[in-house]
Amino acid sequence: MEFRFLYRFLNFDEDPDDGLKAKDPTATARLVDHVAYGSRGQRSQYISTCSDYSYVRNLARISYNSTIRIVKIDTEKLRATSSARIIDLTTDEARKKHFEETDFMSNAYSRANGFASRFSEVVIEGFVPSSCVQLIFNGSKDELPSSEPGI
């Protein structure tokens, strides 16, 4: 499935004016491990996003961060200006297509499958130029709007 926009809950050290980049663009992490564990304790060449604002909002609400920043990524601009790869993991079929067969019986797969389903995950491999990124929310968890800001 193709999504016109993707949404990301930013880490404290990310600046949308600089574009979005993976923790380690040269890493060789398995996709299943990235989805299961994020970049905690490992270097990853992937950037996690959600396919819809409601999912990124749910993710932000369970965060320990006091300040929440959410960006909207324009996938049409991204495809036109970057060689970044967009990997849809929003459905069971998509996850089976992108995860390796040997992953299916692992603890990482069970965890990754749950996270990808729960947060409608779409992963980007590659750099996301700042021209494709729009900051749509910057505030406290209590101020998080129930629908996408600006709509």
Three-state secondary structure along the chain?
Answer: CCCCEEEEECCCCCCHHHCECCCCCCCCCCHHHHHHHCCCCCCCCEEEEECCHHHHHHHHHCCCCCEEEEEEEEHHHHHHHCCCEEEECCCHHHHHHHCCHHHCCCHHHHHHHHHHHHCCEEEEECCECHHHEEEEEEEEHHHCCCCCCCC
Q: Is the pLDDT of residue 102 over 70?
A: no
Q: Is the pLDDT of residue 107 over 80?
A: no
Tell me, what's the pLDDT at 111? 86
Please write the tens of the pLDDT for every residue from 50-101: 999 999 999 999 988 889 999 999 999 999 999 999 999 999 899 888 887 6
